[in-house]
């Protein structure tokens, strides 16, 4: 055998022996603390794109994300039941809502945390409704935290879109006081939406406030507001991150929050027993010809797993 072949085989052996997140993926139906639901919803986006490709892109990058956290000295071990992707890529939002809601409800009934991977931001509404269904909770006992550059309060007159899941949830009966929105960006929202959020009782924390006061302060304020909520969904719209750090988000802008703060929020929030669902939305893989966005999304999942492992 030539030296080149020997080096290649040695490299492959080292790669297969390197613990990575794919080690933690198990088939649907097994007992695991985390359930993964792919919701490749692409239709109904204000800015058309290919967010439907994100669940597959996330799975593909997991072999490049290691399990060892050098800062804590711990290796991730919490397993993930991969429920697969729902057959909704060609569905309009109205037709996709039921399947997403049912899949999330089934996952919440089996797992401590459900990871819902969109797809566009319209998956957030059925995600929260499914969480409430599984736990038998009225919406008044559920909370929503959005990490998002936008309010998502566009009107409903033209139907559901990725620009109005928060508006739709309020119409469903989710009280505005149960909504915390973190990372709102300047020149990316309207005054009417801002006024509506404040009048509705939302806790609004801008991207600038996150930078000046720190993400931990923002999370402290969020948890104080939602202290009485029995279950919380965390919506991670990837466009909250500065566009230079996540180019594959069509709605992202310069001067968003840092990826570091995004990871901090993810780990802190998933460490809470009351956080039953976390979603990742608005990732449009073809927009980034590099692997930066994919690696950031993979790291997000690692942070969510690390958070679950901090639960008692």
pTM over 0.85: yes
How many helices and strands, by DSSP H and E, does the chain display?
Answer: 10, 11
Q: What is the pLDDT of residues 208-229, one digit of tens each?
A: 999 999 999 999 999 999 999 9
Q: In the predicted model, is pLDDT for residue 13 greater than 70? A: no
Residues 6 or more apart whose Cβ sits within 8 Å of residue 155: 164, 167
Q: Is the pLDDT confidence value at 82 over 90?
A: yes
pLDDT (0 to 100) of residue 46: 85
The per-residue pLDDT for 85 is 98
Tell me the per-residue pLDDT of 269-292, one tens digit each, with 9 for 90 and over: 999 999 999 999 999 999 999 999
Percentage of the chain surpassing pLDDT 70? 95
Examine the pLDDT at 238 and tell me if it is beyond 90: yes
Question: What average pLDDT does range 71-79 have in this prediction?
Answer: 95
CATH, domain 18-152+167-309, list 2.20.28.270, 2.130.10.10, 3.40.800.10, 3.30.70.1560: 3.40.800.10
Share the mean pLDDT of the chain. Answer: 94
120 and 42 in contact (C-beta within 8 Å)? yes
Residues 97, 126: Cα–Cα separation, whole Å: 6
pLDDT of residue 44: 75
Lookup: tokens for 170: 């309020």
Give the residue-averaged pLDDT of 173-178: 98
Q: Which of 40-44, 56-60, 206-210 has the lowest mean pLDDT?
A: 40-44
Please say if the pLDDT value at position 182 is more than 70.
yes
Q: What was the pLDDT predicted at 43?
A: 85
Owner of token pair 């997403």: 100
Q: d(Cα 300, Cα 292) in Å, to the nearest integer?
A: 12
In terms of Cβ atoms closer than 10 Å to its own Cβ (0-12, 13-18, 19+), residue 16 is: exposed
Q: Measured in Å, how far apart are the chain's first and last C-alpha atoms?
A: 52
- The pLDDT tens digits for 123-164 are 999 999 999 999 999 999 999 999 999 999 999 999 999 999
Indicate the DSSP class of residue 92.
-
State how far the alpha carbon of 155 is from the alpha carbons of 122, 151, 163, 193, 312, in Å: 13, 12, 8, 10, 41
Return the percentage of the chain with pLDDT > 90, whole number. Answer: 91
Every domain of the chain and the residues it spans: 18-152+167-309
For residues 192 and 89, give the distance between their C-alpha atoms in angstroms, rounded to a whole number. Answer: 32
- Separation CA 155–CA 163 (nearest Å): 8
């Amino acid at each position: 055998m030539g030296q080149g072949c020997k080096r290649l085989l040695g490299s492959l052996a080292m790669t297969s022996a390197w613990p990575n997140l794919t080690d933690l993926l198990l088939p649907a139906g097994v007992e695991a603390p985390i359930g993964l639901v792919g919701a490749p919803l692409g239709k109904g986006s204000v800015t058309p794109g290919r967010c439907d490709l994100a669940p597959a892109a996330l799975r593909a990058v997991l072999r490049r994300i290691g399990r060892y956290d050098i800062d804590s000295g711990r290796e991730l071990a919490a397993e993930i039941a991969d429920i697969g992707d729902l057959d909704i890529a060609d569905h309009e939002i109205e037709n996709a809502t039921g399947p997403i809601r049912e899949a999330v409800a089934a996952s919440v009934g089996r797992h401590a945390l459900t990871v819902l991977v969109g797809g566009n931001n319209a998956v957030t509404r059925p995600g929260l409704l499914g969480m409430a269904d599984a736990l038998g909770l009225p919406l008044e006992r559920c909370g929503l935290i959005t990490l998002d550059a936008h309010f998502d309060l566009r009107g409903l007159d033209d139907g559901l879109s990725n620009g109005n899941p928060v508006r739709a949830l309020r119409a469903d009966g989710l009280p505005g006081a149960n909504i915390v929105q973190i990372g709102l960006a300047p020149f990316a929202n309207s005054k009417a939406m801002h006024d509506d959020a404040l009048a509705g009782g939302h806790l609004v924390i801008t991207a600038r406030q996150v930078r000046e006061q720190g993400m931990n302060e923002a999370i402290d304020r969020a948890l104080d507001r939602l202290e009485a909520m029995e279950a919380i969904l965390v919506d991670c719209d990837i466009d909250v991150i500065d566009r230079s750090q996540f180019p594959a988000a069509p709605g992202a802008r310069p001067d968003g929050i840092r990826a570091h703060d995004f990871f901090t929020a993810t780990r802190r929030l998933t460490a809470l027993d009351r956080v039953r669902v976390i979603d990742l939305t608005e990732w449009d893989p073809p927009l980034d010809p590099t692997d930066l966005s994919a690696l950031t999304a993979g790291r997000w999942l690692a942070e969510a797993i690390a958070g679950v492992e901090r639960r008692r």
